[in-house]
Structure 1
Amino acid sequence: MPRKKNPNGAGSIWRRKDGRYEARVYVPQPDGTRKRKTVYGDTWEECDNKRLELVKRDRAGVPTPTRSHKLSEWLPYWLEEFIRPQRKKTTYAKYETHVRRYLIPSLGTKRLESLSVPDVRRFLVMVTRQASAATAKESHRVLRTALSAACREELISRNVATLVPAPRVEVREMKTWTLDETVTFLEAARPDPLYTAFVLAIALGLRRGEILGLRWGDIDLDRRTLTVRNQLQRVQKELYADSTKNRRTRVIPLPLMCIAPLRWRRLQQAKQRADAGSGWETTDYVFTTRTGRPIEPRNLSRSFERIATQATLPRIRLHDTRHGCATLLFAAGVAPRVVMEILGHSQIAVTMNTYTHVSDSIRREAMSHMDRMLKRSRPAR
């Protein structure tokens, strides 16, 4: 019995000289045009099933690209059209680095629709060996995000990166100073021009960019409040002001230990302005160079590390003072929600899991409570 002829637009099937079957169907493209898509099968039924799937997508209005982009084409386009307009410059720079150094050299020749789970798995193993598990995990996140955008654009039907787990990264042990070590650092930093910046980092847990992005209009010494609105960032050759990490503004009450250093900083800056004369650059930043220019973020970290080394203190990063601030606040009995607001986290889980460090003295104090309770409940003999 002869097979029925397919209706117009449903494509046709024929047998090739090599014995396989071939079907062609006109399908919609992402740009609104229609092009002919070819599918193959070892049997007529297999080829017909593929043809029917194309017809089904056509009738549902789902585009089916006839030519899939290579990753070397899609990733740069995704960076420019999706990431640059919507995300922060620091995010774009980080993503661009992973695309340029790892993704395109390893997977650039693969087409979006032909990228497979084994391809992604081999890529992660390669990056882990070449760099580290943390780098491989970040590259996996960039690839997953790029493929998710391709899915939303209906260029591919599935995101294979979601089917491959990211490498497991060993959690780095958080290093913080003890209370005595923190006091020692502040005493050693007192003669330094950036002493006030270090006080704010330790007492308020401000990020480096937030400290350097502070303007005098953000500080009310009479009401003892500090408003975090912006941060100063350097991306490659550009030093620029940006919104905070989570794009939120927060108001922090100033402890008394911050008031005198801020007044001293204002007097210090007034003298620098007078000395610079016409060479002074007006920016309203709290922390500036001798000519009024913003402080380079890396220079603030260098000064912090230099002072810590001279004071023979354990080596930690400037960013680790945020961990120390959270630990001291928790030790003082401050509620987790309040600590979260002070540090500027968007989720309390970050505050609880990442930015708290239980010191040996705190553990000993906790166990002393247990000792007292058990002694109290012990029956008299």
Structure 2
Amino acid sequence: MARKNPNGAGSIWQRKDGRYEGRVYVPQPDGTRKRKTVYGDTWEECDAKRQELVRRDRAGIPTPTRSQKLSEWLPYWLEEFVRPHRKKTTYAKYETHVRLYLIPNLGTRRLESVNAADVRKLLTAVSRKASAATAKESHRVLRTALTAAHREELVSRNVATLVPAPRVEVREMKTWTLDQTVSFLEAARPDPLYTAFVLAVTLGLRRGEVLGLRWTDIDLGRRTLTVRNQLQRVQKELYADSTKNRRTRAIPLPAMCIAPLRWRRIQQAEQRTAAGADWQESGYVFTTRTGRPVEPRNLSRSFERISAGAELPRIRLHDARHGCATILFAAGVAPRVVMEILGHSQIAVTMNVYTHVSEDTRRAALGHMDRLLKRRRPTA
């Protein structure tokens, strides 16, 4: 008796060689539909494969008619998985690694044919061309992309997880001493961005968080500052984004921040009057002479120029954030409080990355050790 399949569920027929062949239209990763062919020695075997294709179709799971090349999958993954759900900075970073390292080294390989040896060759090539840190980041991007492919059932396993990422030597963090920090703030006092540097040094704000502050985020009466956004530049776009961990945090303002913020408000009012019709109101605390947001790179340039003029050791603006954590810990502030001030999502980051014990602190600690363990003279 002839066996028929439901409408839209494909078809099965017997070939001249006695085997059975079935075809079903299935969705592709790019949104199109193509015909997929399955085979079986018996009608039942072929029908089981056909039913699996129909099940995937009804579940909305793409079934490529051929295994995609990485040069096809990676751009699709960036546009469909990364761009809609991740920050623009993350997308830009991933896109750079895909364009410069992953596609040039693995683009011709098909998803199912990529093996551990291919991944190791990639890491070696990127380490030689760039650095071990860059290779480690490329490994993370590839692993994330293959994880998405595995969830879409395009690959049976994620081979990137089988190969360990390169070991990267931790860069020694450089921070200023307390006296050097005071010297910098004194040298920065005449600069229009002086208040920004005060907030960066005393509160450990990230560069984007400083420039993303609006006057509505600051309550001088209650002496509080709320970090809600950050200002970022990705390629040709300057835009406001959520904080790094997408969390808002309120920070009490130290007394030394109040006067600079009031001075900044007066300064901005004078700039608004001078600019007249050219003023572009943005609500930001730190703006140019015409009200435009300050470019993040320009804040770093000013920091470097002032540091060099004061003959201070060269550090990055972000290193001032490290120095803030060190000062807070030296003052005896609890780690959990430091974590909240700096806006970390995990206390391990605060403890392992952003704390640097100064020489004076080490000397004091060993002084206590010497006092406790010093051998006492026996009494007569």
TM-score bracket for this pair, using the shorter chain length: 0.7 to 0.9
Tell me by how many angstroms 1:261 deviates: 0.5
Q: Tell me, yes or no, if the aligned pair for 1:219 and 1:227 is still in contact at 8 Å.
A: yes
Aligned residue runs from structure 1 range 1-381, under 5 A: 29=26, 31=28, 35-37=36-38, 55=49, 58=52, 61=55, 65-375=64-374, 379-380=378-379
CA contact (8 A) 1:133 1:168 kept: yes
Maintained 8 Å contact 1:28/1:65: no
Separation (CA, whole Å) in 2 of partners of 1:280 and 1:207: 27
State the shift of 1:149 in Å: 0.5
Give distance in 1, aligned partners of 2:164 and 2:244. 27
Q: TM-score, normalised by structure 2?
A: 0.87
TM-score (norm 1): 0.87
**Mapped contact 2:212–2:230 kept (Cα < 8 A):** yes
TM-aligned CA deviation for residue 277 of structure 1: 1.0
Offset at 1:375?
2.9
Residue 110 of structure 1 aligns to a residue whose secondary structure is: coil
Question: 1:211 & 1:231 partners in 2: Cα distance?
Answer: 7
Q: 1:207 to 1:23 in 2, by over 3 A?
A: farther
Counterparts of 1:327 and 1:147, CA distance in 2: 39
Residue identity matched to 1:113: E
Say if 1:23 and 1:335 are closer, same or farther in 2 by CA, change over 3 A.
farther
**Secondary structure of the residue that 1:334 maps to in structure 2?**
coil
The C-alpha deviation readout for 1:106-145, integer Å capped at 9, x for no partner, is 1111110111110111010000000000000001111100
- Check 1:105–1:371 CA distance in 2 against 1; reply closer, same or farther (3 A cut): same
Question: Residues 301-345 of structure 1, C-alpha deviation per residue, up to 9 Å, x if partnerless?
Answer: 000000000000000000001100000000000000000000000
Alpha-carbon distance change, 187 to 60 in structure 1, aligned in 2, over 3 angstroms:
same
Q: State percent identity of aligned pairs.
A: 75
Q: Is the 8 A contact 2:24 2:50 kept in 1?
A: no
How far the C-alpha of 1:59 sits from its partner, in A, is: 8.9
The answer as to whether partners of 1:11 and 1:23 remain within 8 angstroms in 2 is: yes
What amino acid sits opposite 2:37 in the alignment?
Answer: R
In structure 2, the residue matched to 1:4 is: none
The amino acid across from 1:112 in the alignment is: L
Look up the SS of the partner of 1:370 in the other structure: helix
Distance, in Å, in 2 between the alignment partners of 1:255 and 1:86 is 37
Q: Unpaired segments of 5 or more residues in structure 2?
A: 1-10
2:170 maps to a residue whose letter is: V
Q: How much does 1:103 deviate? A: 0.7
Q: Is the 8 A contact 2:208 2:296 kept in 1?
A: yes
Separation (CA, whole Å) in 2 of partners of 1:370 and 1:57: 74
User: In structure 2, do the counterparts of structure 1 residues 187 and 112 end up closer, same or farther at CA, with 3 Å as the change threshold?
Assistant: same
- Give the Cα separation in 1 of the matches to 2:377 and 2:25: 81
Residues paired across the two proteins, number: 358
Distance in 2 between residues matched to 1:106 and 1:325, nearest whole Å: 42
Partner-residue secondary structure (3-state), 1:85: coil
Q: What's the CA shift for 1:34? A: 6.2
Question: Does the C-alpha gap of structure 1 residues 9 and 23 become closer, same or farther in structure 2, counting only changes over 3 Å?
Answer: closer
Letter in 1 for 2:159: V
Distance in 2 (alpha carbons) for counterparts of 1:163 and 1:366 = 44
23 and 121 in structure 1: CA distance in 2 versus 1, 3 angstrom threshold: farther
Structure 1 gaps of 5+ residues are 1-7, 16-21, 40-46
Any conservation in 1 of the 2:22–2:50 contact (CA below 8 Å)? no
